[in-house]
């Protein structure tokens, strides 16, 4: 059935700020350890050169995340659910699930490793033990979501988001960047193939499939009980929610790059998380370095929780079966723990995870654009022609750029 039965006709007044939350949770995906590694490396190697890439990525992310959120609000279903309904055969659903689950595993790999590295930096904890703790905390947060509801889950993740903001922006307050350099960094340009590769890496680390899957689920769960609120009211609040989330995520990502550009430019070893932490300690002192590690820990804990939430929705939406919470969590966690137990270099594992994520971009973006442009599904809230055109161009560009990243990494170019 179309959206009219779902949208409802009742209206109610409610402050928009009371409806905020889903985008802030999904926005944590834009502040995961993969983003930290990409932005710090870009700032340390090229200074302010690639600031425009972060700004551009967040503008594109606004459109993509809004469409995902709108899909959940209007239809009352998630992107994985709708994909599962439209894939006719069970074999097709399983094949689609395998690639989507691979994306979830790659996401967890980066996030669990980030949390493990943070615990190592803060407490000299072995990486495997840190990975186990990070995974356990995410399981606890998933339990909060399933037993206490989406609002409680939002509160916890938003609390971690506040820690992330403090951890990654304090260094910029202590050592402000050069304003002329910042302004110059807003002008699109490159300096050699190395800067192109890093720019594509920044884009690849910013817009990730699991955030697209998760956002539609978050809005569906949050607004399942509408309490008389009309769909237009929820969509207006959603636009505000996405705008606030993207401003925060974009601001923190820019701050990471500025911190590295102002204080780590030309310093050896800053292309790893541990190297950046050590260099910050030498340059700005132990307080800034400690806050950086705390921000990294909060990033790992929050983003792996959202990633696990996305993985659970992917499994349930595509396989059409309910799986116990612990089982769903272990499906994506075990590969990350295996990588840590094998002693694989954390930075290499982060790069590998970004390569796997590159495969999943078109499988999330193309269905999202097609579904939100389907008038029978979306009713009066179907995309306008210019929205569909912009989203299609963004999907094509991101798919191509992630293909470039994949080719450059695999060929060693």
Asked if 355 and 413 count as a contact pair (C-beta separation under 8 A), the reply is no
Closest to 210 (Cα-Cα) out of 118, 304, 301, 143: 304
Closest to 355 (Cα-Cα) out of 211, 196, 201: 201
CA distances for 43 relative to 46, 128, 243, 309, angstroms = 5, 29, 25, 31
Asked if 378 and 372 count as a contact pair (C-beta separation under 8 A), the reply is yes
Angle of helix 346-372 relative to helix 209-222, nearest 10 degrees, comes to: 60
Closest to 346 (Cα-Cα) out of 282, 296, 281, 284: 296
The reply to whether the predicted model has a pTM over 0.85 is yes
Q: Which domains does the chain have, with CATH numbers?
A: 14-411 (1.20.1740.10)
For residues 152 and 229, what is the distance between their CA atoms, to the nearest angstrom? 21
Closest to 356 (Cα-Cα) out of 140, 154, 170, 108: 108
Asked if 398 and 211 count as a contact pair (C-beta separation under 8 A), the reply is no
For residues 145 and 172, what is the distance between their CA atoms, to the nearest angstrom? 34
Asked if 70 and 238 count as a contact pair (C-beta separation under 8 A), the reply is yes
Count of CB atoms within 10 A of residue 87's CB? 17
**Average pLDDT of each block of 10 consecutive residues along the chain (413 residues)?**
42 61 91 87 92 93 96 96 92 92 85 93 94 91 84 91 95 93 94 82 80 94 83 93 95 94 86 89 94 95 88 87 76 86 82 74 93 97 96 88 71 64
């Amino acid at each position: 059935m179309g959206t009219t039965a779902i949208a409802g006709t009742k209206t109610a007044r409610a402050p928009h700020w009371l409806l905020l939350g889903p985008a802030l949770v999904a926005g944590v995906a834009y502040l995961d350890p993969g983003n930290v590694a990409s932005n710090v490396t870009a700032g340390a190697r090229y200074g302010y050169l690639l600031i425009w890439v972060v700004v551009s990525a967040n503008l594109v992310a606004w459109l993509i995340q809004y469409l995902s959120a709108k899909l959940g609000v209007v239809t009352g279903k998630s992107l994985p659910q709708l994909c599962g309904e439209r894939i006719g055969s069970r074999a097709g659903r399983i094949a689609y699930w395998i690639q989507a689950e691979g994306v979830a595993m790659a996401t967890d790999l980066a996030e669990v490793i980030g949390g493990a590295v943070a615990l190592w930096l803060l407490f000299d904890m072995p990486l495997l033990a840190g990975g186990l703790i990070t995974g356990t905390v995410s399981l606890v947060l998933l339990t909060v979501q399933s037993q206490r509801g989406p609002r409680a889950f939002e509160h916890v993740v938003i609390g971690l988001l506040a820690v992330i903001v403090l951890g990654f922006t304090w260094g910029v307050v202590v050592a402000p960047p050069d304003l002329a350099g910042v302004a110059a960094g807003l002008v699109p340009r490159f300096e050699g193939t190395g800067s192109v590769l890093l720019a594509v890496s920044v884009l690849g680390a910013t817009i990730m499939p699991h955030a697209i899957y998760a956002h539609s689920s978050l809005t569906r769960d949050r607004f399942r009980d509408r309490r008389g609120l009309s769909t237009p009211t929820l969509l207006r609040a959603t636009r505000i929610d996405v705008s606030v989330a993207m401003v925060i995520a974009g601001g923190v990502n820019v701050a990471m790059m500025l911190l590295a550009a102002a204080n780590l430019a030309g310093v050896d070893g800053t292309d790893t998380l541990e190297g950046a932490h050590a260099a910050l300690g030498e340059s700005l002192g132990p307080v800034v370095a400690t806050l950086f590690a705390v921000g990294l820990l909060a990033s790992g804990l929050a983003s792996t929780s959202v990633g696990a939430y996305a993985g659970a929705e992917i499994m349930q939406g595509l396989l059409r079966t309910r799986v116990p919470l612990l089982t769903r969590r272990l499906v994506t966690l075990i590969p990350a723990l295996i990588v840590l137990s094998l002693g694989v270099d954390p930075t290499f594992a982060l790069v590998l995870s970004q390569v796997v994520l590159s495969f999943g971009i078109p499988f999330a973006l193309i269905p999202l654009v097609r579904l939100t442009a389907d008038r029978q599904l979306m009713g009066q809230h179907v995309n306008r022609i210019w929205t569909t055109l912009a989203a299609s161009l963004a999907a094509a560009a991101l798919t191509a750029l992630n293909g470039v990243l994949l080719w450059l990494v695999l060929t060693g170019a």
